Amino acid sequence: MKPAPFAYHAPRSLEDAVATLAQHGADARVLAGGQSLVRLMNARQVTPSVLVDINRIPGLDGIEATNGSLRIGALVRQRASVQSPVVAAEAPLLAEAGAQVGHEPVRKRGTVVGSIAFADPSAELPAALLAADGEAVALGPGGERVIAADELFAGPFATTLRPDELLREVRVPRAGGARSGYAFEEVARRHGDLPVCGAAAVLRLDDGGRVAHARIALCGVDERPVRARAAEDLLTGEQPGEEAFAEAAARAAADVHPRADAHGSVAYRRHLAGVLTRRSLRRALARAQEGAPDA
């Protein structure tokens, strides 16, 4: 099947792109990598009347660590992010999650920001951004707007972006130092498929080895990527280990609201949420302990 007819715009500046979005509103869609959008257009599940291709806009393909955060521009391909030594050093959770997105040809074309803006509730990168306490920078007619990751995702394939805004970049706080660890775990039906469930974890230990900071984000088990806040609270201030992780994993699984589909029942997805939370916490702890000065 071919897409429905649409007008094609290829602006050369962010100002022109925003002006085009402002003119056409909800009838327009932004094209960056197009790995999800073009497929849906070909199936006529999405039928925008205007396509705004931002690939000719300079300055959107940068990866930069500055002012305590890592910045990833709207045209940074997923493969470039995975292979970037800057991302590996400053936001390793994004690199690990990104390596599990689709297949190599998909990552060569798909963008980090595009995957986040698409807001698939099963996708890896939105959950990783959430666990990393990241934020998105939107640009619209009124100027720049910074949106915390937890406030960006509104539901399945829905964000709080306005129709006349585009995501210029995402920002992630730079990795937390020697006593910090991270991990992303997922289960998919086949290699390259979207995960049935995924779990991202970040741990930072204090000088006594207790958990000073915990973040757990899950995908595939709710209407959007979600933080397991109650599980995080259970871990904070505690000595990490199997008992604490089992309790946190059980709480994370109890707090999600999955839907049954062809890939798994509600019970199966809840089970995976608990198993993957525990696995991700174990690996995050191992990395935090490896990096500790007295390890």
Distances from the Cα of 15 to the Cαs of 188, 256, 286, in angstroms? 40, 40, 46
Tell me which residue of 218, 166, 32, 213 sits closest to 110, measured CA to CA: 32
Pick 178 or 217 by higher pLDDT: 217
Full-model pTM: 0.95
How is residue 161 written in tokens?
């972006």
Burial state string for 264-282 with b = 16 or more CB within 10 A and e = fewer than 16: beeeebbebbbbbbbbbbb
DSSP class per residue in 36-71: THHHHHHTTS---SEEEE-TT-TT-S-EEEETTEEE
Average pLDDT over residues 221-241: 98
Average pLDDT over residues 30-46: 93
Average pLDDT over residues 148-171: 97
* pLDDT for 70 beyond 70: yes
Q: Please answer whether residues 95 and 125 qualify as being in contact, where contact means their C-beta atoms are separated by less than 8 angstroms.
A: no
295 falls in which pLDDT band (50, 70, 90)? very low
Identify the structural domains of the chain with CATH numbers, from first to last: 7-53 (3.30.43.10), 63-172 (3.30.465.10), 180-291 (3.30.390.50)
293 falls in which pLDDT band (50, 70, 90)? low
Instruction: Determine the pLDDT at residue 47.
Output: 95
Place of tokens 């920078």: 137
The bridge status of strand 50-53 relative to strand 7-9 is parallel
* pLDDT for 41 beyond 50: yes
